[in-house]
Structures are given as structure tokens and as C-alpha cells.
């Protein structure tokens, strides 16, 4: 076969596997270029990760993102890889799309933008884009399971005229296309259908993978060192949290949340992407106060129990947990030695912890690692395997909490869509 019959019912300009943020957005942009697109997804419901994100309101981008410096917000073997796509389709571009469709939104925190009404508004925009008739078309087949993909290279003697094509076998029949876009996401939140499909396709075509791991995930703690804090589940407070040393040190000023098994909240989710097993994390439980000076001054005027005064600077339950561990700290403030107050201040401002692990993919918001950017074109998202593209979370690009990963979905999908051509 030297060429495909574009008018055939089973032939498409591109087949996108995965109907999440990246896949649906890519399909909508591609149809606006006049292309005939098929989107395949194995789930009964489309874009479930969008629906549940941001507490049901979808933190869809971050207006404070500097697209020229992606290394500030993204991790991977080469965070700079995503600069081209982010520059071609910026947060402002997505905001203009939402305004076109009349979606109301608001800023919640540090540039994080959420829908006023519901995450379903984002899904509706993506579906509407796919349904618009700009000369192209989008078919969506779900639930539909991909059973096999094979590439048929151009036959010898075609003098380079043939593009080669893919035959995709599904439980609803086979389709042909010169371009396959893998937008199947990562391993996070398996209860809504996450799978290793995209990674397996990369392996099939001998494309390298960066080892995957849960990211933006709660951390767990075990043993006697954690037992004094195990009863604090539900307690939240603002902290500064860090990990790493010297030039590799990273820190976030965010909220911390105690859970039944350890720590969560925005601060922990952020730091988890940078934490490696065996490493310590450091938490400043009172970032707004220099506690030693405050303690020494308070000692001069207070006869209250230390736990009562300490509740002025940290939550009372946490104050109780700390003082319960040391009989010296259970005395009136004015009876506690300066050395003990100094030690307490230092510990509260630099609480050193060694997590035992994470809550894993079931609680992770995203998956770090994935298809290596070394074999992807940053302008088009095409791999070194002709006609095979990877976009969104399946790629080894992982953003901060706060809308960065959705923006990567929009931007990588846009770059890919604009590089696709008719069969």
C-alpha cells in the first residue's frame, strides 16, 4: 500500500489514543485544520481526571507561569524540552479559549485558576471543539479497547513517496492512519482507568522510558518516631518545607496536612516530586516567627504552661504533641531553661523527618518519568518512530501542583495537532 484512501470509513488522518485533557484538546485543534481524527478511549466516561481535579473545579492552568523558564515549574531529564510547546500555546491562549465559550473562572492562590462552576465546563469546551465543523471531523469511540498496533513501512521502490501507515486493531474493528498520538496519561489514580498502555507502546517501538514514580503524592511515616503525631489527622497549618542540599535544595511555602498515615497538603505534594527514598525533608512549622527570640521574651512575663503559650504560634494539638514528648517542656514557661527553649525553637523551625514512602499511584495526582524526551521532537512531539507522537502526562515532563500539568497537556496537544497532516 503506497497511500491511504482518506475517504474510507476506516482511514483517518490521525488516531489519538486517550480521551483526556491532552488527547481531546489535540483532537479539537487538529479538526480545526481540516483533519479527520479518531479518538479512542478504553473508559466509559471521557476525561475523568479533569472531572475530579481541583475539588471538582479543575485547576486548569497557572497565569503566573513563565513559559521561557520551564525548569522553574517542571521536572524530568530535560525540563527545557517543554519550552517550545509552552511558548506556542500559553496560559493566556487557554484563557482566551475559555472566554470564547463563556466559561467563568477565578484565581485561588499563587496564579492557580479554577472554574467558577464545575470542571465539567472544561470537558464541555473540549467536546465542543471536537464537534465544531471547521472542515475536519472528530469521531470518539469509547469504551473501545486497542488490541494491537503495527506499523507498515513504505514498500521498497516507492522513492520515498509512501509515508507508511499504522494498522490499529480494536475490539470495534481495525483502522488505518499515518499518525498515531499516544495521550493515555500515566499510572496515577488507577481507579479511574490509569494504565501503562502508553509506556508499552513506547517499548514496542524501542523508545526509551525514564523510570516512573508517583508524584504530587502524600508521604507516609512509620515507627516510633512518628507515633507522637499519628493522632493529629486532619490538622493543617502553613509551613515552609524543603528537601535536598545546597544548590539542589528546593523549598515551598504551602499548607501542610496531617493524615492517618503521614503528611499531605499542598506543601507535601509539591515536595514529593523532588523527594527520593531515604532522603530527609525539613519543615519550618512557624515560618512567620523567629521562635527563639519570642520564647526568651515570653519567658520573662509568662507563668503559664509552655503548651498554652506555644499554642499562640502553632495549633494547640500540635503544641500538645510536642510538649508531651519532653517532661521539661511540661512546666510553666518561666521555669524552662533557656537551652531547652532554644532547642525547641530550633526543632520547630527545622523539623527533620525521613518518610518511609508515599501513598503510591492510588493517591498520586501525576506520574513522574515516562517516555524520554531524548526521542521526541520538541516542536511536534513526534518520536523517532515515524508518525508516532506522545503528548501530556505519558511524557517525561511533570509540573508543579497548581495548573502546570494541565497547561502541559494543552501545550503539548497543540504542538502535536499543528504538525499533523492529511493521510
Tens of pLDDT, residue by residue over 163-177, are 799 999 999 999 999
Residue 2 has pLDDT above 60, yes or no: no
Q: Which of 38-47, 59-68, 146-155, 297-306 has the weakest average pLDDT?
A: 146-155
pLDDT at 156: 56
Q: Per-residue pLDDT averaged across 86-98, rounded?
A: 98
Pairing outcome for strands 36-40 and 14-17: parallel
What are the angstrom distances between the C-alpha of 211 and each of 22, 82, 367, 368? 21, 19, 10, 8
| Residue pLDDT, tens place only, 353-401 | 999 999 999 999 999 999 999 999 999 999 999 999 999 999 999 999 9
Q: Tell me the torsion sign for CA atoms 189, 190, 192, 193.
A: positive
CATH number of the structural domain 14-212+367-417:
3.50.50.60
DSSP per-residue codes, 265-318: HHHHHHHHTT--TT--EEEES-TT--HHHHHHHHHTT--SBHHHHHTTTS-HHH
- Dig out the grid coordinates for 293 from the structure: 527570640
pLDDT at 160: 46
Question: CATH fold of 219-358, please?
Answer: Elongation Factor Tu (Ef-tu); domain 3 (2.40.30)
Report the alpha-carbon distance of residue 12 to residue 138 in Å, rounded: 10
- Dig out the grid coordinates for 21 from the structure: 485533557
Hey, which bits of 302-419 come out as E strands?
A: 351-353, 357-358, 366-371, 388-390, 398-399
Q: Would you list the domain boundaries of the chain?
A: 14-212+367-417, 219-358
Q: Is 53 exposed, middle or buried (0-12, 13-18, 19+ CB in 10 A)?
A: buried
β partners of residue 281: 243, 353
pLDDT at 89: 98
Q: Write the DSSP symbol of residue 153.
A: P
Alpha helices in 159-287 (DSSP H): 197-204, 265-272
Residue 116, helix vs strand vs coil: coil
Q: How confident is the model at residue 154 (pLDDT cuts 50, 70, 90)?
A: confident
Listed residue (190, 146, 207) closest to 390, CA to CA: 207
- Dig out the grid coordinates for 130 from the structure: 471536537
| Residue pLDDT, tens place only, 279-300 | 999 999 999 999 999 999 999 9
Please give the helix or strand (H or E) that residue 23 lies within, else none.
Answer: helix 21-32
DSSP per-residue codes, 71-83: GGTEESS-GGGGH
| pTM score of the predicted model | 0.95
Say which residue the cell 503510591 belongs to: 360
CB 91: neighbour CB atoms within 10 A?
A: 23
- Is 219-358 in the same CATH topology as 14-212+367-417? no
Report the alpha-carbon distance of residue 85 to residue 116 in Å, rounded: 27
Residue 218 has pLDDT above 90, yes or no: yes
Report the alpha-carbon distance of residue 361 to residue 41 in Å, rounded: 20
Amino acid at each position: 500500500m503506497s497511500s491511504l484512501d482518506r475517504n474510507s470509513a476506516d482511514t483517518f488522518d490521525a488516531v489519538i489514543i486517550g480521551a483526556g485533557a491532552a488527547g481531546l484538546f489535540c483532537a479539537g485543534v487538529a479538526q480545526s485544520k481540516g483533519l479527520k481524527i479518531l479518538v479512542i478511549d478504553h473508559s466509559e466516561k471521557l476525561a475523568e481526571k479533569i472531572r475530579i481535579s481541583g475539588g471538582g473545579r479543575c485547576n486548569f492552568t497557572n497565569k503566573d507561569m513563565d513559559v521561557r523558564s520551564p525548569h522553574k515549574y517542571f521536572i524530568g531529564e530535560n525540563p527545557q524540552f517543554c519550552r517550545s510547546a509552552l511558548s506556542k500555546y500559553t496560559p493566556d491562549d487557554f484563557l482566551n479559549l475559555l472566554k470564547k465559550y463563556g466559561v467563568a473562572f477565578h484565581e485561588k492562590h499563587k496564579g492557580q485558576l479554577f472554574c467558577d462552576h464545575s470542571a465539567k465546563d472544561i470537558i464541555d469546551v473540549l467536546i465542543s471543539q471536537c464537534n465544531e465543523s471547521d472542515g475536519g471531523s472528530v469521531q470518539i469511540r469509547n469504551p473501545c479497547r486497542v488490541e494491537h498496533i503495527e506499523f507498515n513501512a513504505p514498500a521498497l521502490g516507492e522513492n520515498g513517496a509512501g509515508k507508511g501507515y499504522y494498522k490499529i486493531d480494536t475490539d470495534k474493528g481495525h483502522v488505518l492512519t499515518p499518525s498515531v498520538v499516544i495521550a493515555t496519561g500515566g499510572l496515577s489514580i488507577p481507579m479511574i482507568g490509569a494504565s501503562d498502555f502508553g509506556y508499552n507502546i513506547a517499548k514496542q517501538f524501542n523508545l526509551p522510558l525514564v523510570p516512573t514514580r508517583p508524584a504530587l503524592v502524600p508521604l507516609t511515616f512509620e515507627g516510633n518516631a512518628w507515633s507522637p503525631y499519628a493522632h493529629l489527622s486532619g490538622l493543617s497549618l502553613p509551613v515552609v518545607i524543603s528537601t535536598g542540599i545546597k544548590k539542589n535544595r528546593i523549598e515551598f511555602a504551602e499548607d501542610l496536612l496531617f493524615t492517618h498515615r503521614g503528611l499531605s497538603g499542598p506543601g507535601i505534594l509539591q515536595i514529593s516530586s523532588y523527594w527520593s527514598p531515604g532522603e530527609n525533608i525539613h519543615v519550618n512549622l512557624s515560618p512567620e516567627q523567629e521562635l527563639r527570640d519570642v520564647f526568651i521574651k515570653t519567658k520573662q512575663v509568662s507563668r503559664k504552661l509552655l503548651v498554652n503559650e506555644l499554642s499562640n504560634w502553632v495549633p494547640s494539638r500540635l503544641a500538645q504533641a510536642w510538649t508531651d514528648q519532653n517532661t521539661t517542656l511540661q512546666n510553666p514557661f518561666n521555669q524552662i531553661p533557656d537551652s531547652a527553649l532554644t532547642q525547641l525553637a530550633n526543632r520547630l523551625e527545622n523539623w527533620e523527618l525521613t518518610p518511609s514512602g508515599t501513598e503510591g499511584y492510588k493517591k498520586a495526582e501525576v506520574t513522574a518519568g515516562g517516555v524520554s524526551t531524548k526521542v521526541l521532537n520538541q516542536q511536534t512531539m513526534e518520536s523517532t518512530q515515524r508518525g508516532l507522537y506522545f503528548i501530556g502526562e505519558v511524557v517525561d515532563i511533570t509540573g508543579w501542583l497548581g495548573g502546570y500539568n494541565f497547561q502541559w497537556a494543552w501545550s503539548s496537544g497543540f504542538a502535536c495537532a499543528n504538525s499533523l497532516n492529511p493521510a
